[in-house]
Each structure stands twice: as C-alpha cells, then as structure tokens.
Amino acid sequence: MEEVRRDNPLGLNMVASAHSRLGNLQRHFQSSENVGKDSLNRGNVKLSPEVAEALSRGNAIVALESTIISHGMPYPQNLETAKEVEAIVRNNGAVPATIAILDGIPCIGLTTNELERLANLGTKAQKTARRDIAYLVASGGNGATTVSATMFFASMVGIPVFVTGGIGGVHRHGEHTMDISSDLTELGRTPVAVISAGVKSILDIPRTLEYLETQGVTVAAYNTDQFPAFFTETSGCKVPFRVDSPEDCAQLIDANLRLGLGTGILIAVPIPKEHAASGSLIESAIQKALQEARDNKVTGNAETPFLLARVNELTGGASLASNIALVKNNAFVGARIAVAHAQMRQ
C-alpha cells in the first residue's frame, strides 16, 4: 500500500487512519475464491477483488445499497437496474461496491452471480439495518442492506461516498408513533457522504430535516437551494448549504473527514426535470397508501416497502419509473464526486 500523505493544517490524519484500518481488516478478509470454503469464518467481511484493488490504490469507489434490489422492484427488473447503476458508476470513473450479507458474510462488492442471486431472493432476503447485522452474521442469513447498514460497512473499510435513491426519515405522524428511520441516527455517527434524491416523499420531510439538524448532520443540495422530495424536484423546504460541482462536494467531504466530526453528510440531488412525477398525483397516491397501511396495521420496516409499492400501483407505474431514473442520476453524480474526492487525496 502506498504511503499516505500525513500533513494537514489540523494535525489530523483521517485518510491515513482509514487506510490503517483497512490494512488491519485486510489481514482477516477472504478473497472471493474462498467463498463457501471451510477456511472462511462466518462473520468475516469479504471484499471483491475489484473493490480491494481500488482501496489499496486509493481509487474512487461508490458504495451502493442492496435493499432496492431485493425490495424495490420485481425480478428481473431489479437485476437489470442494479447492473445499469453499476455500469453508470464505472463509466464515470469509479468502482461500484454493492453491499449485502450473503450466507452470513458481509460482502462489499458483489459479483454478477451474487447480484443475480440477491435479485432472485427478492424479499426472502431480510431488509437489513444496523440493528440486524449481528443476527444475520450469527445465523448465516441473507440480508439486503438499507442506508444505515450500507453506511456502516462503507465506513468500516474506508469508502467515503455512498449512492442511494432516497434516505429514510421521520414517518408521517411520527410525533405519535416515534417511527424514525435508523438512517438518520447513522448519519449522525458515521462519516460517509450519502448522495440521494432527498428523503422519500412518503415521509415527513420538514421533521426529518429538523432531526438531522439535531444529529449534527450537514445537509446540502446539489445545484439548488431547495431540498428535493424524491419523486419531485422540491419539497418546499430550503437547505442550509448548497454545492454546485463534484469538486465542491469533494471539498466538503474532505473537510468533514479532516476535522474528525464523526458525522455523515447528506447531499440531496434533485430528480431530473424530465423524470419528475406530478406532485399532486404522487401526494394523492401517498395519502391513499398511508390510509391503507393504517387500516392493515402495516408498521415498522414493512411500512416503507408497502407504501412505495402501493404508490407505484396507484400511479400506474409512474413512481417506479421516476425512482429508477433518480437512482441512475444519483449514481452519475455520486461517481463524479467520488472521483473528485479520490483525486484530492492523491
């Protein structure tokens, strides 16, 4: 591993620290050829060869979650979308690192066969947040990572940029139910930059932004002063900070790491105008889906997949098409940010 630059005005060395952790972890990592062999101890993290090489060279990497594959859409559309998103990341100069737990092994970077296996498993793979990781590893289960679990593993190995569709947040009527996504607390304690189209619009966006402020999370919007609402370009909420280029984002990420703040960053990228859904159409569908969820007593981590599926049905597929388009756009922007940040570190 090449020597990491150790001088900075604060006397801190977050990048070197990340590489040091990586060196320690790599002594325990197994190569992809060892999957399924007796020498692989359950609980070890497995890096794909592509991701391992990119980490050792300090090249750009983009972490990707896997819940969108297992719970976001049906097979084979989920597999096609996953491959297309990874291709966008590669075509823009970065290495994709889709993260999942397979047979109790946290995998950072999936092979084509592993992607296909996860896509076929669909909802049989457990939707995995931070709280679920230890159980799935201990029991040898299969898990598709949400934002919180993906951030945890990305930070563990030193990947500072993570792309997703939209983060979780405070659910509507959350002041009564206390249903608040662990994505928000993860952003408050894990130094990874999350590139998303804002907060899923089925949620309470103003309260989510208030909660992120309490957690000390930097929230910035990309090329806009307005916080986007997932399916639509704006939520009506202003953001405290604005970034206008991949270089701006890279400088923000670098400052966060050098200062050792220990918190994540949310960079909200509006859905492209040509793919945005009608705000009134989406809101009408959300209200109907929310009522159905209450009537059917759908709660906890089952609620978001239920709501997204019903909104897609009620909008005649328009919301899913928008979802796929915004994820691809986020992958494009996120890859460019990762490249800019990697260039700053070299």
Residues marked active site are found at 65, 200
Pairing of strands 95-102, 105-108: antiparallel
* Residue in the structure block whose two tokens are 């260039």: 343
Cα–Cα dist 94/336, whole Å: 8
Contact residues for 343 (Cβ-Cβ < 8 A; gap 6+): 250
- Cα–chain center distance at 155: 12
Cα–Cα dist 50/159, whole Å: 13
Q: Look at residues 346, 341, 334 and name the one whose alpha carbon lies nearest to residue 65.
A: 334
Phi first, then psi: give them for residue 242, nearest 5 degrees. Answer: -130, 140
Phi first, then psi: give them for residue 245, nearest 5 degrees. Answer: -160, 160
Cα–Cα dist 5/16, whole Å: 7
